[in-house]
Structure 1
Amino acid sequence: MLELDVAVRNVLRQRRRALFALLTIVGGVVALMLASGFIEWIFLQMRESTIQSQLGHVQVVRSGYFEGGAADPYANLLPADEANGELQSLSTAPGVQVVAPRLAFTGLISFGEATLSFSGEGVDPGKEIRLSKGIQIISGEPMSPSDPTGLVIGEGLAANLGVKVGDRVVLLVTTKSRGVNGVDCHVRGIFSTYSKSFDDSSLRVPLVTARKLVKVAGATNWVVVLDRTDATSLFMEQYGAQLKSKGFDAVPWYDLADFYNKTVVLFSRQVGVVKLLIGMIIILSISNTLSMAVIERMNEIGTVMALGKRRKAVLRMFIIEGVILGLLGGALGVVVGYLLAHLISAIGIPMPPPPGMAKGYIGEIMITPLLVLDALLLAVGTTLIASIVPAWRASNVIIVDALRHQR
């Protein structure tokens, strides 16, 4: 306790130097919180957009579908009966908002003299209202159960094809029996998502029309939407093995979101580089501050050691000073960073479209408890490291030389 009291007094009496050190730590903590908070917000928005526009939280398919069955999806169909016991059981499971069947297919879409390839999905219009919140209808209306030939088409695909709401198009596909089938539809709406590649190639039609077009009665997958994204792992623990025993695979969204996963890895590495640079700046600044303090207090160090103070006690005293600076700077940095994050989020950060996305967005900064802890650990850890060398020098001075210093 005596060493702590002495360390606190030493920090307080060297106000100018302590203030400079605190400003360095606070600046580093604030920079880390704002940068990491912005990346955390991007992760959240990208994750939820991926879930709510394409993947859902969990997809239930025939065993082996994603490993090889996707090449021949019609040979790996799920039961056709919408009142199927397994589907009903999942629909009533705790935490499940909706379970919707989908039928994936590919083909050609023609309008006038233009013909393009597309990737399509047959969906239940009533259930997709709750499932596809990440899909924005920018023109026209969403699909309706009362309009079986009304489809919605991605913004990019619509532009490339030259269609608008109300235009009639022809869909041509290869059926399960390897024949060719077509259907005449009209564009009911044009949609947009976060993913430009998805908007450039995708369309959706009511499930009943997709089944007639492909001439099958089942679904390629059941899409499960939960009330919370962080409940996905719990759902997998409770139902994954059960579904596996019945010939189904339950695949969570994070195993399917390849673009999201790669983006997280890339941005996390960038944040790691920022953290390393901030840490180096703090270490150099605090180390220089404490080294100057050792030089200026050399007579004092020699005196206390001549009076019987052990070298380990001197070492601890300077390390404690560094830790105190880290705690104070970290706490102040967290408060300042938190207030700045809320102010910046209230104003908004206009951002251009990043690679792979269709539109720009207004960014925010999201501060999480883990981020706050990470910032505090950075402040305390770097100051602790920075204090080791100056503390070792102070504890290893020759007493006689220290007493003669500057005399």
Structure 2
Amino acid sequence: MPIAGLIVDIRLAIRNLRRNTQRTLVAVGTVAFGVIAFLLAGGFIEYIFEQIREATIHSQLGHLQIVRPGYFDRGIADPYAFLLPAQSPEQEVVEKMAGFVSLAPRLTLSGLISHGEATIAFIGEGVDPAREKHLSSGIAIVSGRDLASADEAATVLGEGLARSMGVQPGDVVILLATAANGSASAVEVKVAGTFATMYKDYDEQALRLPIAVARKLMRVGGATSWVVLLDATARTAATADHLGHSLAGKEFQVVPWFDLADFYNKTVVLFSKQVSVVKYIIALLIVLTISNTQMMCVLERTTEIGTSLAIGLRGRVVMGTFIIEGALVGLLGGLLGVTLGYALAQVISAVGIPMPPPPGMVRGYVGRILVSSSLAVDAALLAVITTLLASVMPAWKASRMNIVDALRRNQ
């Protein structure tokens, strides 16, 4: 029976590995060390991905944005030609879907902010503070307070913009803009506070104000987008597809966050390639180490291999025995590495890794190690596949030995 034969081969491979316990432990330890290194490096990158992803979602983009078709292609030049209504039955459709948390209307605007002698260009958003409470949890209020109501004559400034203007919470500023009808418009608002996101460039030119004040300034009704927050990021793709079929395609376009997060997407591509390089280096080290170990085993057991071949054992059986030994080393090393790597990741995460501010940001952060199930499986597969590859050449040489030369080896 094939299964019975496989069990016998595995038992034989285990006995062979127990012959030289020290060498086997070194081989297993080498594989485990490589797996631990891969888990820690990959887990740190996974943590960075998660933090950037969630910060992007909860400070700017939400999980989904519902806009008029063509808004993101042509709306920069004339955003008010793509206005959504202030109230619509379609909002109820969104609010009834599974996983819904919040829907917030936003009105994009730009213009000049003036205080005393200083006048600076700004980009801004009119928001509903009550609906933005959960959606904008990634925005940190640095000083003062957040917006209180949808019609309060106030604004919150990015800390970089506030610094450039030389304003503090409680100061009064004037917002100047070209309204949707082409006429000049201005509104006087009080600075309620300053905020910070993870993007320094954004904080140096951005402000937020109540959507009613933004509509008054731009002399429009409605919103340029409806931003939707879900209870889990993993729902995004399925929910976007569902809403795309539920809402009228000629009137509404549903855009998931990952289609808008250019910085995040490029960061993932860059760091993923770096992790791949680490993975290949670790794989090469494991292959070289296990191949050398297996070759030493073949040399030590030359007479035994010759005897096996002389009594009629086929070369493929001999080859299979060494490959199974390599697979067992990889399996043991992989399990040990994943277990120790996960435990070490938890310890490191509990302590934290103080990190300096990344490029384009002003604040450092505490790094952690995030070992996901997919990363653990990838690490285990790395251990098994590399040891299998490392065992092929020594096993092939063992199966191709000249019987006479093998028997005379130690005489």
What TM-score bracket applies, with the shorter chain setting the length?
over 0.9
Note the 1:177-188 alignment, pairs <5 A: 177-188=181-192
Task: For 1:43, give the aligned amino acid.
Answer: F
Quick check: 2:55–2:198 contact (8 Å CA) kept in 1? yes
Q: Partner residue of 2:379?
A: 375
Report how far residue 246 of structure 1 moved: 4.5
Aligned residues: 405
Note the 1:7-406 alignment, pairs <5 A: 7-80=13-86, 82=87, 84-145=88-149, 148-406=152-410
Structure 1 stretch displaced more, 146-155 or 126-135: 146-155
- 1:167 & 1:380 partners in 2: Cα distance? 64
- 2:98 & 2:228 partners in 1: Cα distance? 12
Quick check: 1:63–1:244 contact (8 Å CA) kept in 2? no
Report how far residue 395 of structure 1 moved: 0.4
Quick check: 2:150–2:212 contact (8 Å CA) kept in 1? no
Task: For 1:401, give the aligned amino acid.
Answer: D
Q: Secondary structure at the match of 1:66?
A: helix
Task: For 1:172, give the aligned amino acid.
Answer: L
- 1:370 & 1:256 partners in 2: Cα distance? 25
Runs of 4+ in 1 over 3 A off after TM superposition: none
- Give the gaps of 5 or more residues in structure 1: none
- Give the gaps of 5 or more residues in structure 2: 1-6
Aligned-residue Cα RMSD (Å) equals 1.1
TM-score by length of 2: 0.97
Say whether 1:4 aligns with 2:18.
Answer: no
- 1:91 & 1:189 partners in 2: Cα distance? 31
CA shift digits 1:186-240 (9 cap, x unpaired): 1101111111121111100000000000111111000011111111112112111
Quick check: 2:126–2:213 contact (8 Å CA) kept in 1? yes
Task: For 2:399, give the aligned amino acid.
Answer: S
CA shift digits 1:108-146 (9 cap, x unpaired): 111221111111000001111121000010111110117
Report how far residue 2 of structure 1 moved: 2.3
Q: Secondary structure at the match of 1:71?
A: coil
- 2:128 & 2:95 partners in 1: Cα distance? 14
Q: Partner residue of 2:3?
A: none
Quick check: 2:128–2:150 contact (8 Å CA) kept in 1? no
Report how far residue 147 of structure 1 moved: 6.2
Quick check: 2:149–2:210 contact (8 Å CA) kept in 1? yes
- Residue identity (%): 53
Quick check: 1:102–1:221 contact (8 Å CA) kept in 2? yes
- 1:146 & 1:241 partners in 2: Cα distance? 31
- 1:371 & 1:139 partners in 2: Cα distance? 40
Structure 1 stretch displaced more, 131-140 or 160-169: 160-169
Quick check: 1:58–1:223 contact (8 Å CA) kept in 2? yes
Q: Secondary structure at the match of 1:189?
A: strand
CA shift digits 1:271-316 (9 cap, x unpaired): 0000000000000000000011111111111111112111011000
- 1:238 & 1:283 partners in 2: Cα distance? 47
Quick check: 2:23–2:293 contact (8 Å CA) kept in 1? yes
